[in-house]
Every structure is written in C-alpha cells, then in structure tokens.
Amino acid sequence: MKKYIITLILTSASFASAQPAQSQAKEQPKTQLEAFAAETGAVIIKGYTDIGKVTGMGSVEVDCREFTNAQSGRRSYGMVINVKESGRLEREDNSLIDFDEIPSLISGIDYIGKINKDVTKLHNFEATYTTKGDFAITVFNNAKGELEIAVKSGRFGRASAFLTMQQLGQLRSLILSAKEKIESIK
C-alpha cells in the first residue's frame, strides 16, 4: 500500500513540475512583431496605418505596422489582421504578421482562390493557409458543394469570419496595399 501512495505522489509531483514549462512554451512570441511588442525596459513606438476592411459574415480589418525601439533605433515591420465575428458573441481577435511573411500569405491566398472540388476525389475538402501569428484562411465546400472561405485569427479564443470568393479577392488587395505601404516607408 505504501508503494502505491509514494508512486502516486511522485507522479503528481512530476506532473506539477511539467506544467509551468508547457504554459511558458505556449506564451512564447511566434512572430518578430510579437517579440518586439513584448520587449520591456525600453520605449517601443508603434506606428500604424489602417488599410481597410472586408465585411462578410463578420469582418476582417487590415493595418500595417512599424515598431521602433526608441533607444536602439531598431525597427520591425508587418501588419495586423483583426477578425471580428458577427452574431450574438461578436468575438474579436487579431494576428501579427511579419513583413517577410506577407509574400507567402499572398501566394497562399492566390492558391486558395483558384482551388476547386477537383483537388480531391472525396466529396468534401478544405484547404488552409496559416501564418506564424495564427491567422488562417480556409476554403471549403459546403453541403451544397459551393465554395466558402473561413478566416480565423487568434491562439486561444479564435475569432472567425466567413467571406465569399470575391471578398477573398478584396482581402488580398488590402494585404497587398499594406505590403506596398510598408515598402514605401522602409
């Protein structure tokens, strides 16, 4: 009986000591912008320009960002995509996207914008592009076989909006405009 109790205590202690390491790993910055924004002991200047908004079933807003460490002069560039749900909950979350990740995001949108149900021999499909900062775009076919777009943002309480293929094109244009704005100030 004593052996069983000791084993249980050791197992519980091992589990308890593993918890902080797991929670710390989840909180690590995933993007350069997140790391920059989390710096302490320095003045961080955040510049931004609103680029635009696409409204479907929910909304997706895009703005470009410039973070500057006032002491060192070091800068980081990117954009923020804010997703707001429609309906009763109206959850909202945003994702930071580093400047160097924008071209691959645009390529992902281009691929998703051309996809159709022939991508698989099975009846239903979905194709998802995800950034380091937890922004995701998914194209899928609904029960009627029509293509729909889901846009999600956030790590934990993710917010989702649903767009048409035409609205996906508008979102792509906003992202491209944010990229061009950043290029003009670099």
Model pLDDT, residue 51: 98
Low-confidence stretches of the chain (pLDDT beneath 50): 1, 3-25
Give, in words, the CATH class of 32-185. Answer: alpha beta
Identify the pLDDT of residue 26.
53
The two tokens of residue 70 are 């006032």
pLDDT of residue 144: 87
What pLDDT was estimated at residue 7?
38
Q: What is the pLDDT of residue 155?
A: 77
Q: Say how many CA atoms lie within 13 Å of 103 toward its Cβ.
A: 2
The reported pTM is 0.82
